[in-house]
Amino acid sequence: MKICNIAVIGAGPAGCMAAIRAAESGKNVVLIERNDSIGKKLMITGKGRCNLTNTASIDTFIKKFGKTGKFFRSAFFTFFNDDLIEFFRAKGLELKAERQGRVFPVTDKSRSVVEVLEKYLAENTVDVLYNTRITGIERKGKYFTLICDNTLNIEAKKVIITTGGASYRATGSTGDGFTVAEEMGHAVIPLKPALVPLKTKEGWVKDLQGLGLENVRLTFRCGDKKITSDVGEAMFTHFGISGPLILDLSGDIVSFLETHKEIHLTIDLKPGLRKEQLESKFVNKFIVKGSIQIKNLMQDILPKRMIPVFLALLKIKSEKLTNQITKEERRSIIDTLKAFPLTVTGSLPIEEAMVTGGGVSVKGIDPRTMESRIIPGLYFAGEVIEGAAPSGGYNLQQAFSTGYLAGQKAAENLN
Ligand SMILES: Cc1cc2nc3c(=O)[nH]c(=O)nc-3n(C[C@H](O)[C@H](O)[C@H](O)COP(=O)(O)OP(=O)(O)OC[C@H]3O[C@@H](n4cnc5c(N)ncnc54)[C@H](O)[C@@H]3O)c2cc1C
């Protein structure tokens, strides 16, 4: 039996930060990780560059987390983006802001972020137990006993659960924290994929696999509900559509799919131009380039690979000469440029989502401390808590902020 003041389960960003913060006050902290290294998921974030926070305001962060946003207010107030930047700078890692306020290490390598966490853990003498998986927690009087999958058991006065979500399972986040929380009386909001590519009914998408669309706007329609994206990027895949705009709205779309089999999606391929502007542009082109085939004229307007699919959809022959295109056909081209149709029928499974929607209900957690309202002495931080934000560094900041608050409060409340 190993005995400690505070046991933190899971060495992702939330767990490392919780352990570091708790140990800073001199408390005896054990950080338990099932892998043989810390931050396995952190290593693959931001395509290996780790978009670890955003320069946006606290209010923007709160909005990004939707219904659960307000729950994170105290955590963000306690430890926010500027604190995080300083935290890394203090160990010699400068961060830089890129477009849309996304913050990355200047090295462009997630490894440098992990190395700083390792330095802090060592400096604060956190006892990191690798290759140790927690399968259950028992409460005995003032103490918790953590059941491990090996022979070792751990006894702690306070426990912080930071086991992450249930996606990209090879990184170690297989959803154990949800099971343990439920066993201890916590409600878990049903898990669903967030930040996930979407499947479409149209089989031709596979012909466009890998084709990126820049400066487009998406509109999803489901019954009387409509969601419109900002202008940004999307990408065709062999099963449907992905890319930043899709991932960011996918949480809402997955919710719609719970009650609707199909969701209508239209892509505005020319969001900067109104229909009348497109019409006059087209008329000019038709006058100047009347003798060329429509497929060639369209090259000024659409990515080359998309043209056969686009014209087939409108039943216009690719070889038709531009001056033979009827007024109706011209109108249908313009309408389709403004609303290129797709039918969303599903998403990839949670295992392939970047973030887990759902999780331990915020109703059972005190937002001022991250302590369980059901089991005193038990804390939660990071993705194990319900609520997910779009891409942009918001989810990692949530993990660092809630980890910091949980670590601090667990240490303060020890006596
Ligand atoms: C491909 C990808 C890219 C991403 N990019 C970004 C990005 O650029 N910016 C951003 O903000 N977010 C990004 N995210 C989301 C972000 O990675 C997560 O929100 C974040 O890692 C959550 O941190 P966490 O500490 O709560 O959980 P995790 O990072 O999942 O860490 C949980 C840890 O707990 C361990 N564990 C689990 N169960 C047990 C157990 N029973 N016993 C012991 N240990 C256990 C796991 O092995 C793991 O190390 C990305 C996610 C993915 C999948």
| Residue owning the nearest CA to atom 52 of ligand 1 | 354
| Alpha-helical runs (H) found in 304-357 | 307-313, 327-338
**Does residue 359's CB lie within 6 angstroms of at least one atom of ligand 1?**
no
**Does residue 354's CB lie within 6 angstroms of at least one atom of ligand 1?**
yes
> Could you state, in order of their start, the residue ranges of all structural domains in the chain?
2-193+352-412, 197-347
Taking phi first (over 0 means left), then psi (-120 to 50 degrees means alpha), and beta for anything else, what does residue 368 get? alpha
Four-CA torsion 202, 318, 213, 249, nearest 10 degrees:
-30
pTM of the predicted structure, to 2 decimals: 0.93
**Does residue 10's CB lie within 6 angstroms of at least one atom of ligand 1?**
yes
* pLDDT in the model for residue 340: 97
| Alpha-helical runs (H) found in 90-204 | 110-123, 176-183
User: Which of 98, 171, 395 to probe ligand 1 with, by most ligand atoms within 8 A of CB?
Assistant: 395
| Alpha-helical runs (H) found in 29-80 | 40-44, 58-64, 73-78
Amino acid at 139: R
Chunked mean pLDDT (size 10), the chain, 415 residues: 94 98 95 98 97 98 96 98 98 96 98 98 97 94 89 91 96 97 97 95 95 97 93 96 95 92 97 92 76 90 95 95 91 96 96 94 98 97 96 97 98 89
* pLDDT in the model for residue 353: 95
Residues 157/5, Cβ–Cβ less than 8 Å: yes
* pLDDT in the model for residue 290: 72
* pLDDT in the model for residue 389: 95
pLDDT tens digits, 55-80: 999 999 999 999 999 999 999 999 99
CA distance 246 to 198: 7
The CATH number corresponding to 197-347 among 1.10.1040.10, 1.10.357.10, 3.30.465.10, 1.10.8.50 equals 1.10.8.50
CA distance 250 to 224: 18
**Does residue 163's CB lie within 6 angstroms of at least one atom of ligand 1?**
yes
Neighbouring C-beta atoms of residue 190, cutoff 10 Å: 10
Residues 192/357, Cβ–Cβ less than 8 Å: yes
* pLDDT in the model for residue 2: 87
pLDDT tens digits, 294-341: 999 999 899 999 999 999 999 999 999 988 999 899 999 999 999 999
* pLDDT in the model for residue 321: 92
CATH 2.40.110.10 fits domain 2-193+352-412? no
In our burial notation (b when 16+ CB lie closer than 10 A, e otherwise), range 162-176 reads bbbbbbbeebbbbbb
> Residue 294: in which H helix or E strand, if any?
helix 294-297
| Residue owning the nearest CA to atom 38 of ligand 1 | 163
* pLDDT in the model for residue 221: 96
**Does residue 33's CB lie within 6 angstroms of at least one atom of ligand 1?**
yes
d(CA 170, ligand 1 centre) in Å: 11
| Residue owning the nearest CA to atom 4 of ligand 1 | 45
**Does residue 35's CB lie within 6 angstroms of at least one atom of ligand 1?**
yes
| Residue owning the nearest CA to atom 37 of ligand 1 | 163
* pLDDT in the model for residue 314: 96
d(CA 163, ligand 1 centre) in Å: 8
Residues 101/3, Cβ–Cβ less than 8 Å: no
